[in-house]
Amino acid sequence: MAPARIPALALAADLVAVVVFAAIGRVSHAEADSLLGLLGTAAPFAIGAGAAWVSPWVRAAPASLRAGGLVVAGSVVIGLLLRLGFTGSLPWTFALVTAISLSVLMLGWRGVAMLVARMGVAGERRTPRG
């Protein structure tokens, strides 16, 4: 894969993680399944992820676990603050589930990507050069 495409794919993967988080949450609470409702639920956390992506540490190595931690922190902190501002409430259970879910999703894809990259490098070493 071309290194220039990695940041765009990493940003897309983070946004997909936010949408998946929002979709699972809406389904688990039997909320209406409208696209507008899904986007409204995801928006505060997507804004938080976007704010984290402004950081040079995230852009320098977007597929790293360090970058993932920063994106999770931005998504959770900013997303929860925005949600509190919009709804006027923030149950601690929601905050906990949000932090765990976004951590699993955003760090999870990075962990899988690291494993796949290592397997690719190991496979290249085993391949005879001709």
In degrees and rounded to multiples of 5, residue 61 shows phi and psi of: -145, 70
| Domain ranges (residues) in the chain | 3-126
Q: pTM here? A: 0.86
Dist CA 45 CA 40 (whole Å): 10
Per residue in 42-100, pLDDT (tens digit) is 999 999 999 999 999 999 999 999 999 999 999 999 999 999 999 999 999 999 999 99
Per residue in 56-72, pLDDT (tens digit) is 999 999 999 999 999 99
Is 14 in contact with 106 (CB distance < 8 Å)? yes
Nearest to 65 by CA among 19, 114, 99: 114
